[in-house]
Amino acid sequence: MFGYYLHLAWHSLRRNRVLTALMVLAIAVGIGAAMTTFTVLHVLSGDPLPGRSGELYYPQIDPQDARGMMPGPMPPEQVTLIDGMNLLRAKRADRQALMAGGTVPIQPDASSFDPFYVEARYTTADFFAMFGAPFLYGHGWSGADDEAHARDVVITRQLDDKLFSGADSVGRALRIKDTTFRIAGVLDDWHPNPHFYDLTTGAYNYYEQVFLPLQTALELHFDKNGSNDCWGNGTGGMQGGAYPSATCVWLQFWVQLDSPAKAAAYRQFLVRYSEEQKALGRFQRAPNVRLRNLTQWLDYNGVVPGDVRLQAWMAFGFLLVCLVNTVGLMLAKFLRRAGELSVRRALGASRRALFAQLLTESGVIGIAGGSAGLLLALFGLWMVRHRTSDYAALAHLDPAMLLVTFALATGASLLAGVLPAWRACNVAPALQLKSN
């Protein structure tokens, strides 16, 4: 029976080509616009570390003096070097890492390369295990290496490809800013988006190429990137090898806490730490701590650009208008065929059968519109990629979104077909036939 309905639908759609084209086009542009903006929104609000994000927390404490640089009750969004080292060495979490971003010159031995600058992350041993960074060769450095200011470096596969043609470079030497480092490991492709662990360097499409121990970087006065907030007499060093003073926050501190109970205990620890520091006279404010997990941290920072959300809303409004339009056109089309439908009714087809037939027709329109909409969405995403925004390169349609596109297109057109089909199959056959 379904085959017969398809056949009927095909005939009916061919009979009135302009109207059919109009309906398919309306659904296509609606779906195209909605899916383009929704895909961008989906990509940008994605989980950077699926499966791990629930266990990662970003502790915030408030070391500011009483007069305070930043008004309001929120503690600063980064930590000072002293507090970062204290919390790191306290080892109260399952894993913890203190970090800052920077830029370093790489000075290859081979004369075929001029020195070049790459983005770097200065961090501590647990970074790789905590964030699940995959190693292609070798491994990270140890906590002991951290304290020993080891000249160890982890590079990315991209840098390994560039310098060593992709060979296993573990153990080889790499000169960074006039200092020789030993390559401890090579990371496989790893691009968490958003760049959650340090949002101050840009939330999207920011990748470091070298990772080296924080204390080594500090000792060697490597340049730092990112922001710093100071209070009191603090001054912020930006570049030139000077670091912000003790009353500036400029490092990120992350912890891994495997259970909610541990998270609660860690929050208590942060409060106790703040009280202790206040007793010592370093902190002047009452304990003011936050312990957000990764997802909450991204939400709090409003990482997804407001424009992208706004565009998604507008595009869904647009889709709604396109659907209302399709409902109107289908209504006209179905009601115009009242005569034909009445004949089928008179010959014994049930209302249910007519309803199924008409819905089949709207489903065909939906699938056609969805396919065209998919092409439009692919075109739209191509346009987004060619715009120079920091997230442009990420705008790709993944299989899940592909499925959503089709489900949305077919579902929407079936929904659009329900009212017209219902009205059409309720036509009184006798009256209709008589008037003809």
Partner 1 sequence: MKLHPMIAALRKHKAGVVLIALQIALTLAIVCNAIFIIGQRIDRVNRPTGLDESNLFLVTQQWVGAPSADTADGVAKLDAMQKEDLAALRNLPSVASVAPINSLPLLNSTWAGSVSTKPDRKFSDKGDNVRTAYYFTDDQAMSTLGLKIVAGRAFNAGDVQHQGFRDNPPRPIVIVTKALADKLFPQGGAVGKAIYVDGSSSPSTIVGVVARMQVPATGTWVNGFTWNATLVPSRLDANFARYAVRAKPGQMEAAMRAVAPTLYQVNPLRVLDDDSVKSFADIRAHAYRADVGMAVLMGVICLILLSVTAAGIVGLTSFWVGQRHKQIGVRRALGARKADILHYFQLENLLIAGSGAVGGVLLAIGLNMLLMKHYEMDRLPILYVLVGVAAVLLLGQGAVFVPARRASNVPPVAATRVA
**Of 50, 306, 348, 399, the one binding partner 1 by CB under 8 A:** 306
Please state the closest distance from residue 260 (CB atom) to partner 1, in A: 31
Choices 146-154, 257-265, 274-282, 304-312; region in contact with partner 1 by CB under 8 A? 304-312
Considering only 85-93, 197-205, 325-333, 354-362, which stretch makes contact with partner 1 by CB under 8 A?
Answer: 325-333
Residue 392: burial class (beta carbons within 10 Å; 0-12, 13-18, 19+): middle
Q: Compute the least distance from the CB of residue 121 to partner 1, in Å.
A: 19
Q: What is the token pair recorded at 235?
A: 């001054």
Q: Quick one: residue 132, left, alpha or beta (phi over 0 = left, psi -120 to 50 = alpha)?
A: left
**What does the block give as tokens for 72?**
């309001």
Quick one: CA dihedral 297, 68, 266, 199, positive or negative?
Answer: positive
3-state class of 392 per DSSP?
Answer: helix
- Total residues contacting partner 1 by CB under 8 A comes to 56
Choosing from 14, 17, 352, 387, the residue that interacts with partner 1 (CB under 8 A) is 387
Q: Number of helices and strands (H, E) in the chain?
A: 14, 13
Residue 129 token pair = 């295990």
Tokens representing 373 are: 């909409």
What is the spatial distance between Cα 278 and Cα 274, in angstroms, rounded to a whole number? 6
Q: If you ran DSSP here, which 8-state letter would residue 142 be given?
A: -
Contact 100, 88 (CB under 8 A): no
Nearest distance from C-beta of residue 390 to partner 1, angstroms: 10
**Is residue 111 near partner 1 by the rule CB under 8 A?**
no
Sole binder of partner 1 in the list 149, 309, 344, 385 (CB under 8 A): 309
Binding flag, residue 305, partner 1 (CB under 8 A):
yes
Please report whether residue 377 would count as binding partner 1 according to CB under 8 A: no
| Contact with partner 1 (CB under 8 A) among 188, 189, 276, 307 | 307
Contact residues: partner 1, CB under 8 A: 19, 22, 26, 29-30, 33, 67-69, 71, 105, 115-117, 178, 221, 223, 235-242, 305-307, 309-311, 313-315, 317-318, 320-322, 324-325, 327-329, 331-333, 335-336, 387-389, 419, 423, 435-436
